[in-house]
Each structure stands twice: as structure tokens, then as C-alpha cells.
Amino acid sequence: MTLRVLVVDDSAFARKVLRKVLSDAEGLEVVGTARDGLDALERVAELKPDVITLDLVMPSLDGTGFLRALSGMPDAPRVVVVSSAGTDSELAVAALQAGAVDMVHKPTALATDRLYELGAELVEKVRVAGRAVPRYANELEASVNAPPARPLPATSPKLLAVGTSTGGPQALTRLLSALPRDFPAPVVLALHIPAGYTEAVAKRLDSQSALEVVEASDGLELVPGRAVLARAGYHLKVARHGALNLARLDRHPLGTPHHPSVDVLFQSVAEVWGRDALGLVLTGMGDDGLKGARALRAAGGVVITEAESSCVVYGMPRAVAEAGLSNGSAPLDELVPLISRFV
């Protein structure tokens, strides 16, 4: 099946580059381009694309405004954000929370041939988006504004480790907004996202959650009521120093394409926390987290997975579940009661 793609960018040069790299890829057809959000809405109605590549900073109607308008459309196309860290990282995170499937980082905000460097990653993510289930802002806002969950019982100190990829910002928003302020375990999070964006992710999650949500720093204490998000470009590990539980950052590649890696985080948690560890695998492409889940189960810990019905991409949870490593599975909005059985 050929995926129909609409390229939306206010830069004529960027539209030219994106059209070229996508048109040259097998299975993709660029059916049109748009210079801003208003133009894009007209093109969507006319061309009915499967996937849209979306710039964020545009005149007339910007990328986040376009996503809000898109949320009211039946059978809306999936969206891949094309963003520049530093200039629009907060907008990119807002777009991911509002329903964009994934994002690609522009190597430069300038109109230069360096834009061609994003080609392979963009093609891959457009193909993934073509198979993904979009979840847009109206659904997300209903979840964020829902009443807080009932407090979970405080039992023995434990740790919740969460791993996610495609669709992760939306999933983390809904999960963390449902956890109560007195959640009795530290939380550590690994999300696949380009470097330069995790500080903005942490800030937005912190504003939408009863927990304190912070970007990881080396030596940061892990305590109940705090969720620590792995810094993109680094592996997040956990360590104990006397009575303190600490976050550790590691840039060693360790044979994984992902930095941070869910496998690396889960394996570290298994070594330090053992049977007091709970691993949660949310929506995402691929199988990062499978080795880590196996290590958690071998150490006596518990692993749960997001059900296919609420996943944007049912890849990472599927790999864990099909390996027989999941102690339980539930849709995203039912995961907190499931977590409460083990924490």
C-alpha cells in the first residue's frame, strides 16, 4: 500500500527538500504541499492524505493550532512533526501531547542542504505513522482534566520504571496525571525522543501532574512523589549510596540504538531494586524493553504492559507480552488500578 503524504512548512526550500526525500522513498507518494496551517486544512479536505509532515512555527495558523483543528475531523491523517530544538522545542512537545505520532529534529533551521540529513529518519517515521493510531487533543484534555485517582496504599518502598517510544508523550501525560501526589514509589521514565527536548517534556508533564516531574541529572535523589525523566542522549540508571537512591547518567552506547534505552534502565533497576521493582512498558515501536523486562522478571520484579487498544503503536508492549513476561495488561486509562496491585 502506498502512503499519501502532505508536506506542511512555511519555507519553500524545506518543502522542496521534504518532497524530494519522501518522493524518492518506496511506498510513499507526496500528494501535495502547504505553506501554513490554513492552507494545510484545505489540502487535507481536498487530497485526503494518510500522513502529514508538520512544521510548527508558521503564519496564519501554526502547527499546534492545526492539530487542534485536525482533532475534529473524522479519519484524520497521522502527523509527524518536523521541529528545530531550541527554537520550538516547547511547541514540539505540546504537539506530541496533542496527538502528533512522532517527531523528527531538523539538523538546522536554515535553508541549507543540511536538511537532507533528516531524510532516512523522516521516511522511517512517516512509514510508522502510516500504521499508527492517532489520538488527538480533545481526548487528551478529557483525561488530563479528569478527577485524580484514589490514593494508592503505602506498602513497602518500591520503584516504578516506565519505558515508551512512539506516542509516549501522550501516554506519559495521561499516566502521570492519574497518579496521586502521595504515590508511594519513586518513578523513573525512559522516552525515545531527540536530544534537546526532554527538559520541555519534563516541564509540561510537571505542570499537568500532581507529582514533581524533572529531567534527570546525575546524582539526583529518587524519592516518592518525584518522577525523573531520562535526558535524551544519555542512558538513565539507578544506584544506591547508603540510604539514598540516586539517578545516574551514562553516555556509553552499550550496543543500543536508543539513548536513553528502556533495556538499560530496566536492567539497572533489576540489579538495584530486584523484587521491589515494577516495570511498565507503554506504546512504542520496536522491542526496546524486552531484555530489560526479562531481567526484571528474573530478579523477582513485576512487569506490566499497555494493552493494544490504547497504544499508538503496539510494538514494545507486544514484544514483552508475546515473550510471556507481562504480569498484567490494561488500556492506558486503566493502568493506575493495575499498578496499585503491585506497589
Which residues carry out catalysis?
A: 165, 192, 288
C-alpha cell of residue 266: 530496566
Q: Which of 258, 106, 100 is nearest to 192 (CA)?
A: 258
Residues 6+ apart with CB under 8 A from 35: 8, 9, 10, 12, 15, 58
Q: Which of 224, 199, 225 is nearest to 214 (CA)?
A: 199
Q: Compute φ and ψ for 329, nearest 5 degrees.
A: -140, 145
Q: Which of 319, 316, 323 is nearest to 282 (CA)?
A: 316
Amino acid present at 67? L
Does the N-terminal peptide bond of residue 260 adopt cis geometry, omega within 30 degrees of 0?
Answer: yes
CA of residue 187 relative to chain centroid, distance: 16
What is the rounded (10 degree) CA torsion for 106, 134, 98, 31? 50
Q: Compute φ and ψ for 277, nearest 5 degrees.
A: -105, 140
Q: Are 226 and 186 in contact (CB under 8 A)?
A: yes
Decide the pairing of beta strands 51-54 and 3-8. parallel
Q: Are 187 and 229 in contact (CB under 8 A)?
A: no
Cα 153–Cα 154–Cα 155 angle in degrees, nearest 5: 105
